[in-house]
Amino acid sequence: MPQVITAVQRRFESADAAVRTRLRRARARWRWFDHLARAYERYRDRRGDRLAAALTSYGFLSFFPLLALAYALLGYLVGVSDLAREYLVTAINDMLPGLSDRLQISEVVRSKTAAGLIGTVGLLLTGLGWVQVLRESLRDIWGNDPRPEGANFLVMRLLDAAVLVFLGVMLILGSAATAVAGSTAHTVLGWFGMDDVSGAGTALRLLSLGVAVFFNTWIFLVLFSRLTGTRAPWRRIYKGALLGAVGFEALKQVASFLLGRTVDNPLYASFAVLVGLMVWINLVSRYLFYVAAWTATRSVVLSADNGHRTLTPGDVLSVIARPVGRREKV
């Protein structure tokens, strides 16, 4: 028996060595692959999974007062504009499909004052904590001190509140703009009798996705430029912001696909939304921190931050160990 175990162990060691050799060759051959590997190493060294778990906890707790505040706003919009109400419901369903169908909107509308008060107080308590964890985690991923010395507590809280408001406004505006773009394009196609043309539906969907990616890119751009402590200008961060926006939209589509097929199942429909919400927040958090690591390990970003903090040995190698005469593209 010990001989069998030894033989199996040797096979695993041989396979592991072969995989590592191929990975080293791939990293030496393709710079984009080497960049992905360096980003993963940064994510792993900074314990990105743990940071994502902490952000998930705060995000999960922040979601419910945010939802109460959103539906309180919905209650006030009912008497103002049916179109605005529809856009807000679309924004909520866009973030978590099927949720508005499972809640009694009429009850929330009737108690909009209480819901708004509870949502505001709850969001101040949990939302600011979520932004603080997000800011400290992004700074850690970027290689900066999570809690810089000399920072004024009140000023930091006000900045966190501004970030929270910005994120909420951008998410709602993005969802509303996506709905408006799709509806307007569909109307224009109808004027020319092209709404039933093959491929028109796909084109409308791509247009809506493009609008959503545009707004998401601005969100990631602000997060990476204002919360990380980087000195790199926006033009050196936008690729990471675009990558984050595309992936975030893809995760939203996956959530729509999965939740749309689980909320109607009587076996686990009662908690599918809550479990799906927690899993989705965790996936988004992990992806956010990996993209932050990818952006932070770009050579142009490392060069911009070089004069303002001490680089790790891996960062130094990523800057200086490049082929002579070859322009950096990652």
Closest CA to 249 of 204, 219, 290, 292: 219
What is the enclosing helix (H) or strand (E) of 75? helix 48-78
pLDDT of 16: 72
Cβ-contact 189, 100 below 8 angstroms: no
pLDDT of 323: 43
Q: How far apart are CA 208 and CA 194, in angstroms?
A: 18
Residue 84 amino acid letter? A
pLDDT of 242: 94
Task: Report the length, in residues, of the chain.
Answer: 330
- The CB-side HSE value for 169 (13 A sphere, CA atoms) comes to 7
Rg (CA), the chain: 23
DSSP conformational letter for 80: T
3-state secondary structure of 37: helix
Q: What is the pTM of this model?
A: 0.77
Q: Tokens for 47?
A: 């314990």
Along the 330 residues of the chain, how does pLDDT read in single tens digits?
Answer: 676 677 777 777 777 787 778 878 887 888 888 888 999 999 999 999 999 999 999 988 887 777 777 667 666 665 556 666 666 666 666 655 555 555 555 565 666 677 677 777 877 788 888 999 999 999 999 988 887 777 778 888 888 888 888 888 887 778 777 777 777 776 776 776 666 666 666 777 788 888 889 999 999 999 998 888 888 888 889 999 999 999 998 888 887 776 666 656 666 555 667 777 788 889 999 999 999 999 998 877 777 766 555 445 445 444 444 444 444 445
Q: How far apart are CA 314 and CA 287, in angstroms?
A: 22
Q: Tokens 């991923």: give the residue.
A: 141
3-state secondary structure of 205: helix
